[in-house]
Structure 1
Amino acid sequence: MSKSTLEIQVKTLPNLPGVYQYYDANGTIIYVGKAKNLKKRVSSYFTKNHEYGKTRVLVKKIADIKHIVVDTETDALLLENNLIKKYQPRYNVMLKDDKSYPWICIKKERFPRVFQTRRLIKDGSEYFGPYTSVKTVYTLLELIKGLFPLRTCNYDLSQEKIDAGKYKVCLEYHLGNCKGACEGYETEEAYNESIKAIREILKGNFKDSLNEFKNQMHTLAKDMHFEEAQKIKEKIEVLENYQAKSTIVNPKISNVDVFSITSDESYAYVNFLQLSYGSIIRSHTLELKKKLEETDKQLLELAITEIRQRFNSKSKEIYVPFEVDLGNDVKVTIPKLGDKKHILDLSLRNAKYYRLEQLKQVKITDPDRHVKRIMAQMKADLRLSEEPRHIECFDNSNIQGTNPVAACVVFKNGKPSKKDYRHFNIKTVEGPDDFASMTEVVYRRYKRLLDEGQPLPQLIVIDGGKGQLSAALKSLDDLNLRGKIAIIGIAKRLEELFYPNDPIPLYLDKKSETLKIIQQLRNEAHRFGIEHHRNKRSKSALNTELETIPGIGEKTIVDLLKHFKSAKRVSYAKLDELEQVVGVSKAQKIYNYFNKS
């Protein structure tokens, strides 16, 4: 389709809520989006200057536009969600398909059974769930089994068959797990009272069951039936213990969905908590793969629609960290304090923990994806034009002005590359001058890389503030490398990052992975430099010590170092070893000097 035809399509779009679909030249759907106003939203793709590369590519590939007008924003959200799942367009956020989650079923039959299932049969039975954890289902079923004796058999317990004596009680009856409805030992009314209580527990309402059990216990105790009263007391303890574990906030907060989001450059993680009578009855975290640098608001709206559909949530109120557009069918609350804020913070903590777990797993199972994510994050955080796959960090070490040295450490793909580390002995600077030393080592490092045709780093990190950064920039200017390699300085005091020609430093989040890698670079450079400085001082001190031995001249020192390779080895040498090199008289003097004690 020609460009002019596309323009006509865009101009004739209605100013109504709906869903738009972009197709490529092959007729394949490549993107689905929702809009409050179709004309405004679709026009923005063709009139804006898109910074993000993938969006530019998407716009170039659009060959045809189709749209569906709907009545409300809520309808648009649902339709967008369904179309994404159906067609899985290349440029849409990846929604992982829902696996078959477990449900708890209260079967529609006389004397209903209560059991776990993954199949929903539309026969009038009640289904509670889906639950994201099988462990939760087992815990609930164990709780129900302990509180209420229910049948587990699948017999047809019609009144006619019971009256005809078709069935006999089984072992479950003799163990006390069933009251023998199959032989008419339990009435349908009494059984249904238990089912009613179970229904409330599955909804998260423990209050009625607790009150009923307490009344039973007091009645039995009053009538001197202490053994039965003790059994009821144990049931109350089981129920209270379960309630204590699941109650998080004010019991008045009921029938509410809570959503929070945390994201990085490539993925977003949305946590969902469902509350009923102050208890969390469901928790789930959804991972979304970004495609077009979507905002947290866009991702949260998409995730809320998907999760509420997936878990069949009918809650009329949701708690979220910021404003979202979900239509008028649901009340949106942004808690600021109190119990509501507490539960929102809990949801966010769950999302962050889930993200950390995923990152740890990815680091092991898919290191390439881990590296790509880190590099993309660093590029964005540090405002770089390319990913810093190769970073070099410089640090000066001179203690009390002696033996000035510098260190250069190298990180590749976010990890130390120790074979590329380099030491520098300062040659052109007299005395302790950190700025001049930095100028020298940066010049020597990149002059050599250029001369040898070796690859240059994408980022240079200087351990120090504005002064050290300016000193390093002099060398880059001399080598015509300014602008070709990004360079920043990190100051120790507040971990602020300085950029050339920018008086205002950048402050990164103290927990950000980018800052952690830069700190690791700086610490490694410092360690490497100090280690070399210490070795050099020790060597220098020993050499000086040989010169102070009475009766030992320069020629003797040269002979000793030629044979023993270092002054340290001379100090540890035995008398007969020394005699073989310098003779009896001088050997005795050296040996006595180092073995005075």
Structure 2
Amino acid sequence: MSSRVDELREKASQLPLQPGVYLYKDTAGTVLYVGKAKNLRNRVRSYFNEDRLAEAKTGSLIREAHDLDYILLDNEKEALALENNLIKQYKPRFNVLLRDDKTYPYIKLTNEKWPRVYVTRRLRKDGTYFGPYFPGNLAHRLVNFIHRHFKIPSCTVDFSRNHTHPCLEFHIHRCLGPCVQGLTTEQIYAEHVRDVRMFLEGRTHDLASEMRKRMEQASEAMEFERAAALRDLIHTVEEVEQKQKMAAASGDDIDIFSSYAEPPQVAVNLFHLRNGRIVDRREFFWEDLSEYEPQEFFTTLLMQVYSAGQPVPAVIHVPLELDDREVLEELLSEKRGKKTEIHTPQRGQKRALLALVGSNARHSFEQRFRVLRPTSAAISEALEEALNLPDAPKRIECFDISHIQGTDKVASMVVWEEGRMKKSDYRKFIIRTVVGNDDFASMYEVVTRRYGRLQAEDKPMPGLVLIDGGLGQLHSAAAALEALGILNQPLASLAKREETLYVYGQEDEPILLERNSPVLHLVQMIRDEAHRFAVTFHRSRRDARTLTSELAEIPGVGPKTIEKLLKTFGSLTGVKAASEEELAAAIGKVAAAKLRAALAGLATGVEG
């Protein structure tokens, strides 16, 4: 190792005395660490000082490093920006990585013939995006408002083909029904889409004026019902406009960061103050930061948070003075399009707010790394955030399929409700319509049967339907719900191999949670319970079939006797292990004697 360290030291001594980014790589060329420097040579040479080599992180890095690369840049600002991009690209394990890099949601207005609105966290070039919105559920509340008042849907129905009848959303007046010919026209639909666009752009005054003209036209044409609906909508839109004006005059936009660390575990809280009041709070956790250096940590954290789609505020408060403050301010100001300042408050109300965020960070640390048992409400809210759900689910129903090479196919449904498993609501299903080994078709059948029955009984849907499986099972469940006319039902699946969560409608944004995440623990626990319940039911069905087929060959043992044996002993193994007295108690002395003799003969035949 000594010769390799000497080679790296020599390479460092030859680096330019200019700003840039440096990359340590291992023998396979994998990037281990990305750093930035005002002076590349001085910064990288410092890694080989005896004091630095004695540090846990630096010593491990140099021991594993095989090569050193660099990129020259014109100034520190470019170096900081490139460092952030390379960290996001390579995810080097010696860098501080923002693992919980979920962004706040956007509202997407698609550019289809019949546009729809969706809540999403990923920006693409396939429509118009509005946002981001926080708190996270604000986007869902706005989309729900659009459904109720403008009747533009979020469904996944194929509008390219004509359907025979509309879904429930049309009947409860939350959709214009473009899927069925004759229910609406392109002109009417386009008018509603224009209204939605103005509403999301914040042009509420223009929208109210436009609708007032339509109301007058409807009144003149004696379409009084339509005129009354427009009058009510104008009133609602004007209320929204008034609230926005009041909020805009009430204060600044500020983000406040603070942390609590007991390396290698670190918790960070981020409070968003908008218009002078706290509107949301986010938590970030690291469980394997072997070396916590606050300067590097907060610089990297700010860059990663605001490059992940978060809105940049006018002011950012952090708990320590940052060496890179001026460069960070310049970069974030460019991103925002207006000046952004980074402060470390020393007194007054702002210092008190920073202390409040710090105490919340400590509480988050305790909840995650010490208590590890947050309340069911807290877990439910965390699940809502992690899966981008419209509401925190109070009830989760989870499905699993079990069989052996397509035989004795069964399914299970288990229920989590208000923080506990509700065993009284568990359900077993025998797969009836599927031939052979087809998990997707089996899932389609079970979901259809379960929620078709709920519809028939007029019972509410759960807050989340969870599927044990990958994308195939997820899409089968979604197809079953769509066939029933059930749309916008929160639906997710948990794939076993990587413990990856897929949320229907966001499949291109798979969710990988930290292994210590209470949300992951919850969905794993529910999934494992569904699997256990399905396997137990499958085993009992298989044992019953085996017992029936083998005992049916014994003279004098008929179907009623077999049924009694199954009920009492459960399996062929249980029957064979029973004494003659136990058998006699179940089926009578004569039948027990015949059965015992027959079983002895079967055993002899097997051994022979």
TM-score, normalisation: structure 1:
0.45
TM-score, normalisation: structure 2:
0.45
Greater Rg by CA: 1
